[in-house]
């Protein structure tokens, strides 16, 4: 039995994903629902992080902090050890999250009215970072080839050639599909951005959860002029010192959790294989193969007439999900399910899907496509 098999009560920790009020209001579900929407993990935090935060809490001083040397040193060591990246402490900047940082980047490197390019389907906050700042969103749909997403380089080149397009935000690995881009693909993306003088921004938040046997390539490059401009934007947003608990948590995560993470990633990869196995019984639910992450991206175009029917299906299962239209564009007809949970819970969720599916066609008459 794996440590990740144990069910963990997330209602106790005010987890938004598990809040009865949210599940009822947003999805019409019961307190018995299994949430599969929001992208966080239903596992307890790695024990070394727990211990470090508890030890810090015992020191009754939660006042102003500073960035201790160990904070940056552990980030540098993690990047070297896990990804072969050579970073310097000077290049690291504190920020309060990836999505806020995308907002600061849009503010720093584009002017009001200029445009930002993204691929679709996309994590919705990519569009928000652009639109919250009165910039224009330009989208380049990913193409489906042999059941995998690939870049449409021709379309991207056309769009980058527009004089108003200043920034391209790449999602690597890709959310919602878990696609890990190859070094060759990334090189081509980099070449296009260089050729069209478009700033390349790579959101690599999912890079730590890449399945065994898959190689992740970072697109990271040093560029001092750009760093300074972004640092000014951080200053303009008053980013000063880390939260008291962030310091020990980060240091513990990046020094003591390699083994925990490797085990967790292998567990999630097995969850993905298990999901594909079980859903193979539903030919109209096509799970896109993933190479990373804990999100399954499923083509349900042949099963449901429209998104309203998809929602009715998952409500009948007492499961929450993210419907395809959430992903800016080109996600219609798909559903995203979070499978980063103990396997007994995943089994229960899949049992519900298969049980409701067994009678669905008797209840609903889908429009043939």
Ligand X SMILES: Cc1ncc(COP(=O)(O)O)c(C=O)c1O
Give me the helix-helix angle, 224-236 and 98-109, nearest 10°. 110
Nearer to ligand X, 98 or 241 (CB): 98
Sheet strand arrangement including 286-287 = 286-287, 295-299, 334-338, 322-323
**Residue from 97, 161, 228, 232 binding ligand X (CB under 6 A):** 97
Beta carbon of residue 340, minimum distance to ligand X (angstroms, whole number): 11
Nearer to ligand X, 293 or 342 (CB): 293
In angstroms, what is the minimal distance from the CB of 322 to ligand X? 10
Cβ-based nearer residue to ligand X, 99 or 150? 99
Q: Which stretch, 25-33, 55-63, 94-102, 230-238, contacts ligand X (CB under 6 A)?
A: 94-102
Nearest approach in angstroms of CB 176 to ligand X is 8
Shortest distance, CB of residue 124 to ligand X, whole angstroms?
10
The residue among 313 and 320 lying less far from ligand X, judged by its C-beta, is 320
- Pick the closer one to ligand X by CB: 297 or 360: 297
What is the C-alpha to C-alpha distance for residues 140 and 315, in angstroms, rounded to an integer?
32
By CB under 6 A, the residues from 166 to 225 that bind ligand X are 171, 175, 203, 205
Measured between alpha carbons, how far is 360 from 354 in angstroms, rounded to an integer?
10
Interaction mask 122-141, ligand X, x per CB under 6 A: -x------------------
Which H/E stretch holds residue 140? strand 136-141
Contacts of 108 (CB under 8 A, 6+ apart): 229, 230, 232, 233
Comparing CB distances to ligand X, the nearer of 230 and 303 is: 230
Stretch that binds ligand X, among 96-104, 140-148, 157-165, 220-228 (CB under 6 A): 96-104
Token pair of 162 as six digits:
């527009």
Give the residue among 285, 288, 274, 253 at the shortest CA–CA distance from 366.
Answer: 285
Whose Cβ is closer to ligand X: residue 166's or residue 336's? Answer: 336
Closest distance of CB 180 from ligand X, Å? 13
The residue count for binding ligand X (CB under 6 A) is 9
Exactly one of 99, 214, 226, 246 binds ligand X (CB under 6 A); which one? 99
CB of 295 or CB of 356, closer to ligand X:
295
Binding region for ligand X (CB under 6 A) out of 95-103, 265-273, 281-289, 315-323: 95-103
Phi-psi region of 318 (alpha: psi -120 to 50; beta: other; left: phi over 0): left
> Which of 343, 342, 296, 341 has its CA nearest to residue 321?
296
Distances (CA, A) of 250 to 47, 72, 190, 244, 285: 13, 10, 30, 11, 39
Peptide bond into 121 cis (omega under 30): yes
- Of 97-105, 219-227, 267-275, 309-317, the segment contacting ligand X by CB under 6 A is 97-105
Q: Which residue, 89, 119, 120, 95, is CA-closest to 108?
A: 95
Residue-wise over 207-225: b if at least 16 C-beta within 10 A, else e? bbbbbeeeebbebeeeeee
Q: Among residues 3, 8, 19, 39, which is the contact residue for ligand X, using CB under 6 A? A: 39
Give, as ranges, the residues between 250 and 279 that touch ligand X (CB under 6 A): none
Q: Considering only 91-99, 156-164, 193-201, 224-232, which stretch makes contact with ligand X by CB under 6 A?
A: 91-99
Choice between 127 and 282, CB closer to ligand X: 127
In this structure, what token pair is assigned to residue 241?
């010192």
Burial 257-294 (b: 16+ CB within 10 A, else e): beebeeebbebbbebbeebbebbeebebbbbbebbbbb
Residue closer to ligand X (CB basis): 39 or 239: 39
> Candidates 75-83, 92-100, 133-141, 249-257 — which segment interacts with ligand X by CB under 6 A?
92-100
92 phi and psi, to 5 degrees? -85, 135
Q: Name the minimum Å distance from CB 99 to ligand X.
A: 3
Provide the binding-site residues for ligand X, judged by CB under 6 A.
39, 97-99, 123, 171, 175, 203, 205
């Amino acid at each position: 039995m794996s440590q990740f098999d144990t069910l963990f009560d997330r209602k106790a920790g005010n987890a938004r994903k598990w809040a009865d009020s949210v599940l009822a209001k947003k999805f019409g579900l019961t307190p018995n629902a299994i949430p599969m929407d929001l992208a966080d993990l239903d596992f307890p935090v790695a024990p070394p992080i727990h211990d470090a935060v508890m030890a810090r809490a015992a020191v009754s001083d939660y006042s102003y902090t500073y960035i201790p040397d160990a904070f940056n040193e552990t980030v540098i060591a993690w990047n070297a050890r896990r990804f072969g990246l050579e970073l310097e402490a000077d290049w690291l900047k504190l920020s309060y999250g990836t999505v806020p940082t995308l907002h600061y980047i849009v503010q720093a490197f584009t002017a009001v009215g200029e445009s930002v390019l993204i691929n679709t389907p996309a994590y919705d906050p990519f569009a928000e970072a652009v639109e919250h700042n009165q910039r224009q969103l330009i989208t380049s749909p990913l193409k489906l080839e042999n059941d995998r997403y690939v870049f449409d380089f021709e379309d991207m080149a056309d769009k980058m050639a527009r004089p108003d397009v200043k920034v391209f935000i790449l999602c690597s690995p890709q959310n919602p599909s878990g696609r890990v881009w190859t070094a060759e693909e990334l090189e081509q993306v980099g070449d296009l951005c260089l050729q069209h003088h478009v700033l390349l921004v790579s959101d690599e938040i999912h890079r730590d959860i890449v399945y065994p046997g898959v190689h992740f390539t970072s697109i990271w490059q040093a560029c001092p002029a750009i760093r300074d401009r972004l640092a000014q934007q951080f200053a303009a947003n008053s980013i000063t010192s880390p939260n008291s608990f962030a310091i020990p948590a980060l240091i513990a995560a990046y020094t003591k959790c390699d083994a925990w993470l490797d085990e967790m990633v292998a567990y999630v990869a097995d969850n993905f294989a298990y999901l594909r196995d079980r859903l193979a019984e539903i030919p109209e639910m096509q799970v896109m193969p993933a190479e990373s992450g804990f999100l399954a991206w499923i083509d349900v175009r042949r099963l449901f007439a429209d998104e309203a029917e998809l929602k009715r299906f998952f409500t009948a299962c007492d499961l929450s999900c993210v419907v395809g239209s959430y992903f800016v564009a080109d996600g219609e007809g798909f559903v995203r399910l979070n499978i980063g949970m103990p396997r007994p819970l995943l089994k229960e969720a899949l049992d519900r899907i298969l049980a409701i599916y067994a009678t669905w066609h008797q209840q609903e008459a889908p429009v043939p496509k």
